[in-house]
């Protein structure tokens, strides 16, 4: 390895660490540093826009920055030092910056959400985006992608851009969003441009008494772990490849730093422009309750299914479902069996058991807490259910599931 490769470089990362997207990109950059022998002195700007007017005094050898921010892109595009841009993809090649660029594939991200909803049997679609502005160019790309996908398959797509999230106009904005939700034909699958906007949809559905997912199935984008449980209905979301984007950006910068010593400034610029752009596809869809849609036709069954999903793990009985729907037990039971192929009691049982299985395989929660969270009166009862249904104890189920993975 040459002396240049052994040199310690000073690298500045310009991202907003308050955003889940940026945090995952930073994590991917860190993984590249840990998995290679690069010796970088990395500085993560706390206020990444504050010092852009003082770039000439920066003592750094390279920069990786969020190029979704137009001010960031304008300030960094023509620097003499290597700069790697990270941001969204564009349909037009002219919209890309003249630096090496790593992008989330917006078309693939939207297609992932769209195909998930189509597989549920939905044939009506809608998109909740952002008002057009220079800071949300990626939102417009996602809007164009879903409209094109729907047109290709012969489906219509209602688009609502809404308003910016501001405290003084919050209630007005939510009322207008509720109006839009009420205007949509049902059932409908709605893709939100981000998880934050998807939570707006969940609130609007609650306000307008639209049942999620039975009437409105919702998919967000980001799979934000921190905000996942802020809504009563858990949110299905597209997990972007942000970690890989950070890894690929660090890899590109490493390559440029190793070349720059032997190149003149003009040659370096040409070299940067010749580098291929890297489009990173999404990891996939993380399915949760907001898209647990079944193509039900009977209005009473839809109401019963919604109530079961919301309250099964609170230890409800069939009588409570009957009271909620408001028709006779025999009538509802007959309708339910015709639509679902099994009884209301079985649906309550399945909902509780599915949650218990999910908690066992995806968390390290104690069995007593799992029993309580899933509506079982005791650990012993939980054991009895698993022995009857799977022929094994909960611990054995967890161990066997781990071996399969």
DSSP classification of residue 126: E
The average pLDDT across 200-228 equals 89
For residue 121, the SS3 value is coil
> Using one digit for the tens of pLDDT, what is the confidence trace for 278-318?
999 999 999 888 998 776 778 899 889 889 988 899 889 99
**Number of Cβ atoms within 10 Å of the Cβ of 246:** 27
Whole-number pLDDT of residue 341: 85
Q: Is the pLDDT of residue 392 over 60?
A: yes
- Contact between 290 and 213 under an 8 Å Cβ cutoff? The reply is yes
- Please tell me the predicted confidence (pLDDT) of residue 270: 45
Cα–Cα distance, 68 to 55 (Å, whole number): 19
The H-or-E segment that residue 234 falls in is none
CA distances (Å), origin 192, targets 21, 139, 227, 346? 15, 10, 15, 33
| Dihedral sign computed on CA atoms, order 241, 242, 247, 251 | positive
CA-derived radius of gyration, the chain: 25
- Whether the predicted pLDDT of 15 surpasses 80: yes
Q: Output the pTM of the full model.
A: 0.77
N-term to C-term CA, the chain? 39
pLDDT of residue 273: 47
Cβ-Cβ contacts under 8 Å for 235 (sequence gap 6 or more): 195, 198, 199, 202, 218, 220, 228, 288, 289, 290
% of the chain with per-residue pLDDT over 90: 60
Work out the average pLDDT over 226-233. Answer: 72
More confident residue, 222 or 230: 222
Q: How confident is the model at residue 271 (pLDDT cuts 50, 70, 90)?
A: very low
Q: Which parts of 261-393 fold into alpha helices (H)? A: 265-274, 299-311, 318-325, 329-340, 344-362, 367-373, 379-390
Contact yes or no for 26/15 (Cβ under 8 A): yes
Average pLDDT (334-347) is 90
Mean pLDDT of the chain: 88
Domains detected in the chain: 3-104+241-282 (3.40.50.2300), 106-239+286-291 (3.40.50.2300), 299-404 (1.10.10.60)
What distance lies between CA 382 and its chain's CA centroid?
32
Least confident piece of the model among 125-129, 221-225, 380-384: 221-225
């Amino acid at each position: 390895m040459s002396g240049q490769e052994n040199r310690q470089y000073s690298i500045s990362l310009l991202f907003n660490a308050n955003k889940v997207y940026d945090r995952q990109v930073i994590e991917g950059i860190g993984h590249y540093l840990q998995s290679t022998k690069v010796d970088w002195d990395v500085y993560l700007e706390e206020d990444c826009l504050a010092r852009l007017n003082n770039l000439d005094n920066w003592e750094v050898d390279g920069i990786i920055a969020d190029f979704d921010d137009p001010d960031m892109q304008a300030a960094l595009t023509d620097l003499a030092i290597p700069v790697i841009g990270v941001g969204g993809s564009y349909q037009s090649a002219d919209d890309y910056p003249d630096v090496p660029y790593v992008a989330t594939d917006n078309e693939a991200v939207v297609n992932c959400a769209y195909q998930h909803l189509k597989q549920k049997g939905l044939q009506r679609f809608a998109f909740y985006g952002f008002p057009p502005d220079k800071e949300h160019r990626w939102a417009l790309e996602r809007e164009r992608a879903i409209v094109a996908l729907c047109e290709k398959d012969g489906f219509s797509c209602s688009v609502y851009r809404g308003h910016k999230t501001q405290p003084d106009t919050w209630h007005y904005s939510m009322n207008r969003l509720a109006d839009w939700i009420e205007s949509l034909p049902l059932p409908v699958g709605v893709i939100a441009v981000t998880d934050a906007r998807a939570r707006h949809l969940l609130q609007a559905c609650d306000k307008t008494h639209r049942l999620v997912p039975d009437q409105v199935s919702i998919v967000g984008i980001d799979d934000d772990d921190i905000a996942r449980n802020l809504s009563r209905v858990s949110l299905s979301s597209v997990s972007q490849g942000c970690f890989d984007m950070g890894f690929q950006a660090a890899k590109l910068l490493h390559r440029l730093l190793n070349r720059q010593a032997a190149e003149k400034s003009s040659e370096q610029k040409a070299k940067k422009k010749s580098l291929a752009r890297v489009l990173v596809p999404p990891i996939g869809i993380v399915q949760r309750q907001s898209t647990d849609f079944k193509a039900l036709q009977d209005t009473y069954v839809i109401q019963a299914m919604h109530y079961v999903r919301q309250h099964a793990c609170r230890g409800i009985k069939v009588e409570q479902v009957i009271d909620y729907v408001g028709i006779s037990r025999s009538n509802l039971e007959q309708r339910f069996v015709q639509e679902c192929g099994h009884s209301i009691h079985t649906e309550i049982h399945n909902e509780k058991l599915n949650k218990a299985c999910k908690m066992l395989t995806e968390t390290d929660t104690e069995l007593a807490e799992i029993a309580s969270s899933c509506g079982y009166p005791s650990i012993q009862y939980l054991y009895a259910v698993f022995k009857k249904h799977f022929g094994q104890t909960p611990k054995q189920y967890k161990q066997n599931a781990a071996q399969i993975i």
